[in-house]
Amino acid sequence: MEKILVLDFGGQYNQLIARRVREQNVYAEIKPYNRITAQQIAEAGYKGIIFTGGPNSVYDEKSPHCDKKVLELGIPVLGICYGAQLTAWLCGGEICSAGSLGEYGKIELEVKDDPLFEGVPEKSICWMSHTDYIKRVPEGFRVTATTEHCPCAAMSDGKGIYAVQFHPEVTHTVYGKRMLHNFLFAICRCSGDWKMSDFAKEAVEKYRNQLKGKKVLCALSGGVDSSVAAVLLHKAIGSDLTCVFVDHGLLRKDEGDMVERTFKKRFDMNIIRVNAEDLFLEKLKGVTEPEKKRKIIGEEFIRVFEREAKKIGKVNYLVQGTIYPDVIESGAGDASTIKSHHNVGGLPSVIDFDEIIEPLRELFKDEVRAVGTELGIPHDLVWRQPFPGPGLAIRVIGEITKDKLDTLRDADAIFREEVVNAGLEKITNQYFAVLTDTRSVGVMGDARTYGYTVALRAVTTDDFMTADWTRLPYEVLEKASSRITNEVRTIGRVVYDITSKPPATVEWE
């Protein structure tokens, strides 16, 4: 199989690079810069290497550097942002701080004749985000693009080493896709015959060999990610897989029964449902800080699994449906922590399994759905909207109580129902209610009320790394608001969240 190596130097867009490569039907895998040697790269037979961006300056003592030999393997290299500066620095060029002339956002780019820019107009918009820049290109290189403040926005040695200061993987770089296409097909000579179905087939095959005769436990939440992970593993090892579904009492209305039914009946899997509501609510009592909630839930999850695992004898592996945005936002590698997704950053350090398996760790949500479809998972399950591992705990702002959870469950069910009734579930990627800890005064039947404020949230996104708030029609919001205040008596006010991500995140906590 033809593959591209994405050498990770800690940038926020690393997985996006891999995804952009996969979108062009070439398999890409990410490896941290310090976990693969030049020799291993040569032996693995990569068709090309991409150096990612990263937050450091090449001159920082702690900045990540790879062996210069990586550039001498005869495999084409594309350095992006920090990766471009590192390429220049390794080859003897000079890097400088741009000071106040650092470029951020959309910038006009002027390109010269170069294989990387074949089909790219002389002037176009690119996405920049850099403080340092390449002041002097190394011997044997020539500058192939510039911007107003960047004397070297791209360079090449004419023998297979390319570097760009901007980010071709970000859609704001108007011809970024074309540039990556040039790198993959004209420069690396890939044939582009890889498909997402190959990922599913290869993963089933790989786990069938790796886990033969082992006892494997899967953390199943009923959400898209863990469902796809479970079905994938079930296809690989059948009854050696046991799924544990922890009902932590933080699920949506009637969700627990639905999940149990689906996996027992539709998929004929070994599934154990653990009702642990009391345990979780006790642990969360009085806790208001979002990161603390996440850590507690993550830790309790693992403890419950450990206990279940012990009941079924020696368990070697634990499967989790972690996907890429969970990993990156939890601060994987050198990227900064945004919030600890419960299945990554919340993991306790002492754990009673040999190993954790995360088959979807490198994929984005839409890629996971494509794998799910390949595996024959029914459409309605594959297209369920995402639901966070810590469940409604991070949608009840402030202290969590059973009453508040029930209130939120009712309001959330009404809102979701109204979105579906209006046939809008396809135009919004996630839609749910949040119970704020604000109460407000109202009037009902001539009497004063003092109820909770519920916030409705609907977002449109393709990768959940950035999101826009969905412009739901007023009539739908009106119907939901009227039903919620009438049917859920503890709620006195309904508001609609019109914040995009960034600066907000999808969830409130």
Max intra-chain CA distance, the chain: 83
Q: How far is CA 448 from CA 440, 443, 483, 495, in A?
A: 10, 5, 19, 20
Q: Closer to ligand XMP by CB, 176 or 390: give it.
A: 390
CB 194 within 8 A of CB 22: yes
- Under rule CB under 6 A, residue 374 binds ligand XMP: no
C-alpha torsion 113→114→119→124, nearest 10: -70
- Under rule CB under 6 A, residue 501 binds ligand XMP: yes
Whether 169 is catalytic: yes
Name residues contacting ligand XMP, limited to 285-314 (CB under 6 A). Answer: 294
Q: Choosing from 103, 126, 152, 167, which is the catalytic residue?
A: 167
Select from 1-9, 246-254, 388-396, 492-500 the region that touches ligand XMP (CB under 6 A): 388-396
- Under rule CB under 6 A, residue 367 binds ligand XMP: no
Whether 475 is catalytic: no
Q: Choosing from 66, 81, 91, 152, which is the catalytic residue?
A: 81
- Under rule CB under 6 A, residue 339 binds ligand XMP: yes
Q: How far is the CB of 339 from ligand XMP (least distance, A)?
A: 6
Burial class (CB in 10 A: 0-12, 13-18, 19+), 73: middle
Q: How far is the CB of 326 from ligand XMP (least distance, A)?
A: 5
d(CA 356, CA 218): 10
Q: How far is CA 27 from CA 5, 192, 307, 319, 321, in A?
A: 9, 9, 38, 23, 21
Q: Choosing from 66, 91, 150, 169, which is the catalytic residue?
A: 169
Helix axes 365-374, 196-210, angle to 10 degrees: 70
CB 387 within 8 A of CB 252: yes
Residues facing 126 on adjacent strands: 107
Whether 167 is catalytic: yes
- Under rule CB under 6 A, residue 280 binds ligand XMP: no
- Under rule CB under 6 A, residue 342 binds ligand XMP: yes
- Under rule CB under 6 A, residue 207 binds ligand XMP: no
Select from 30-38, 106-114, 311-319, 383-391 the region that touches ligand XMP (CB under 6 A): 383-391
- Under rule CB under 6 A, residue 320 binds ligand XMP: no
Burial class (CB in 10 A: 0-12, 13-18, 19+), 34: middle
Name residues contacting ligand XMP, limited to 434-473 (CB under 6 A). Answer: 464
Select from 156-164, 254-262, 341-349, 412-420 the region that touches ligand XMP (CB under 6 A): 341-349
Select from 22-30, 106-114, 188-196, 339-347 the region that touches ligand XMP (CB under 6 A): 339-347
Q: How many CA atoms lie within 13 A of 2 on its CB side?
A: 18
Burial class (CB in 10 A: 0-12, 13-18, 19+), 176: buried
- Under rule CB under 6 A, residue 391 binds ligand XMP: no
Q: Which of 12, 52, 242, 343 binds ligand XMP (CB under 6 A)?
A: 343
- What is the DSSP annotation of 465-487? SSBEE----HHHHHHHHHHHHHH
**Interacting residues toward ligand XMP by CB under 6 A:** 294, 325-326, 329, 339, 341-343, 386, 388-390, 430, 464, 501, 505-507
Q: Which residues are catalytic?
A: 81, 167, 169
